[in-house]
Structure 1
Amino acid sequence: MTFAHKQKGMSMLSWMVVLVLVAFFASAGFKLIPHYMDNRALDRMITAVESDPTTKIRSVPEFYTYLFKGIQVNAIDLKPEEVFDIKLENNVYLVKLKYEQREPLIKNIDLVVSFDKEYRVRMQ
């Protein structure tokens, strides 16, 4: 084994680079995960209108009120009138969820996530 003495593993500089990369991606992940969790909560609120028989929504303003209460309960920092576009057509609510969130990463570098989804909620 003449090559065994050259196989010492990673140098200190290599370990530092790996550590910096792991810290960078962990920091970005910890800043973005709450926004995806908030979006998932909004998604569940909208789909619950159709599946929950106790929810009696008869008009678009009632739908906005329902969503506003859900946003308050989940402590989401959004305004329903800026995030949702709700229309009623033939007893079907057409809900468009569209917004973006920015999270500062380093000085003037931001992480941006944007969400855009449409729902068709049928009322019984």
Structure 2
Amino acid sequence: MNSMKAQRGITLTSFLVVLIVVGFFLYVGMKLFPMYQENYAVRSAMKSLANEPGIGSMQPANIQKLLFKRLYINYSENVKPANVKFDRKDNGWTMRVNYEVRRPLIGNIDVVGKFDSTQDLSRSGVE
């Protein structure tokens, strides 16, 4: 009595398809990770500014200098002075950083990240 057992498992072609799909998502992740890492650095710099005593009574130009010193340490290169806006608030300032990052993906297809962060800066430093 000959009984043939059916083989189970993934074929070479299926394995290559899975490998290509996983590789593509890893490639996209490698393009996205630095953008989000930079956004985290921007938000951290903004929060550390909010903890400075008397930051709300400083002039916006001085606050912007302090922000860019912190961003320089974190190698942030996509945030420009034109992306930083200040609005007067009754007890200080509201700082808004709105910027866009564009990275080439494949050929003429780009990955675009738009980031918008807001931080209140009070006269006492901490609310």
Q: TM-score, normalised by structure 1?
A: 0.85
Note the residue ranges of structure 2 that are not aligned, 5 or more in a row. Answer: none
Question: Which residue of structure 2 aligns with residue 75 of structure 1?
Answer: 75
Question: Which residue of structure 2 aligns with residue 34 of structure 1?
Answer: 34
- Whole-angstrom CA distance in 1 between matches of 2:121 and 2:64: 14
Question: Which residue of structure 2 aligns with residue 5 of structure 1?
Answer: 5
What letter is aligned with 2:120? R
* 3-state SS of 1:63 partner: helix
* 3-state SS of 2:5 partner: helix
Question: Which residue of structure 2 aligns with residue 61 of structure 1?
Answer: 61
- Whole-angstrom CA distance in 2 between matches of 1:54 and 1:92: 9
* 3-state SS of 1:21 partner: helix
* 3-state SS of 2:63 partner: helix
Q: How has the CA–CA distance of structure 1 residues 83 and 36 changed in structure 2, closer, same or farther, with 3 Å as cutoff?
A: same
TM-superposed CA distance for 1:113, in Å, is 1.1
Can you list the C-alpha shifts for 1:84-124, whole angstroms capped at 9, x where unaligned?
11223323211112111111111111111111222222121
Superposition pairs for residues 1-124 of structure 1, below 5 Å? 5-53=5-53, 58-124=58-124
TM-superposed CA distance for 1:40, in Å, is 0.7
- Whole-angstrom CA distance in 2 between matches of 1:112 and 1:79: 14
After superposition, the CA RMSD in angstroms is: 2.1
Q: TM-score, normalised by structure 2?
A: 0.83
Q: Is the 8 A contact 1:50 1:121 kept in 2?
A: yes
Can you list the C-alpha shifts for 1:45-80, whole angstroms capped at 9, x where unaligned?
111122244968611111111111112111111343
- Whole-angstrom CA distance in 2 between matches of 1:79 and 1:73: 13
Structure with bigger RCO (C-alpha 8 Å, 6+ apart): 2
Number of corresponding residues? 121
* 3-state SS of 2:77 partner: coil
